[in-house]
């Protein structure tokens, strides 16, 4: 829906009336419409798909069972990634070691920053994950979760998937996220 907004702007010498056309493209996604994936102790729920944000943002919820492996060390050239730990203790992997992030922690990972994560604890970890821009990230997750169930040992397929989706592993021969193995 388009509408006009009147904006009054005042400087020391003049007053302006600006007319600005605005779009109301707000999005509400009912919870029953969220796509979900599950494999090897990890659950991922698409909260706001990139198709609704013109690929500017992707918002996801992740739930990891106790002592569950997440993605190995990798980086992105085109996306920033942010995690908000909502429950539990997340172990964040970096180029220099591991960092523990407890409930309420926010982890921002800019482009080219090496990262990965695990749940090394005996409890569940729940977190919100944001990709900016989104670059159809749910397509990557959809394919990855399918591969984890169907073609777990196909290294070339995982390498291709990563490279096509702005994910660059530090060890291309060890990128398959065997999620329950550390």
The per-residue pLDDT of the chain, averaged, comes to 86
Classified as helix, coil or strand, 146 is helix
What are 31-53's pLDDT values in tens digits?
777 899 998 889 999 999 999 88
Return the domain boundaries, the chain: 31-169
Does 137 have pLDDT greater than 50? yes
Sign (positive/negative) of CA torsion 145, 147, 152, 156? Answer: negative
Q: How many CA atoms lie within 13 A of 128 on its CB side?
A: 12
Q: What is the dihedral of CA 34, 57, 67, 65, to 10 degrees?
A: -10
Q: What is the dihedral of CA 88, 33, 145, 135, to 10 degrees?
A: -90
CA 84 to the chain's CA centroid? 10
What are 74-99's pLDDT values in tens digits?
999 999 999 999 999 999 999 999 99
Residue 32 DSSP class: G
Q: Are 117 and 128 in contact (CB under 8 A)?
A: no
- The correct answer on CATH 1.25.50.20 for the domain covering 31-169 is no
Other CB atoms within 10 Å distance of the CB of residue 125 = 27
Euclidean distance between CA atoms 47 and 34, whole angstroms: 6
């Amino acid at each position: 829906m388009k509408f006009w907004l009147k904006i009054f702007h005042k400087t020391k010498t003049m007053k302006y009336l600006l007319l600005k056309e605005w779009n109301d493209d707000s999005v509400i996604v009912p919870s029953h419409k969220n796509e979900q994936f599950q494999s090897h102790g990890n659950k991922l729920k698409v909260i706001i798909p990139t198709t609704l944000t013109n690929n500017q943002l992707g918002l996801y919820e992740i739930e990891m069972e106790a002592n569950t492996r997440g993605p190995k060390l990798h980086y992105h050239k085109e996306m920033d990634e942010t995690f908000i730990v909502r429950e539990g203790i997340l172990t964040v992997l970096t180029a220099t070691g591991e960092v523990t992030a407890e409930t309420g922690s926010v982890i921002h990972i800019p482009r080219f920053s090496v990262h990965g994560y695990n749940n090394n604890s005996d409890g569940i970890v729940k977190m919100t994950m944001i990709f900016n821009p989104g670059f159809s990230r749910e397509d990557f997750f959809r394919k990855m979760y399918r591969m984890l169930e169907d073609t777990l040992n196909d290294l070339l397929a995982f390498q291709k998937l990563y490279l096509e989706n702005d994910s660059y592993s530090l060890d291309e021969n060890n990128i398959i996220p065997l999620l329950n193995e550390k």
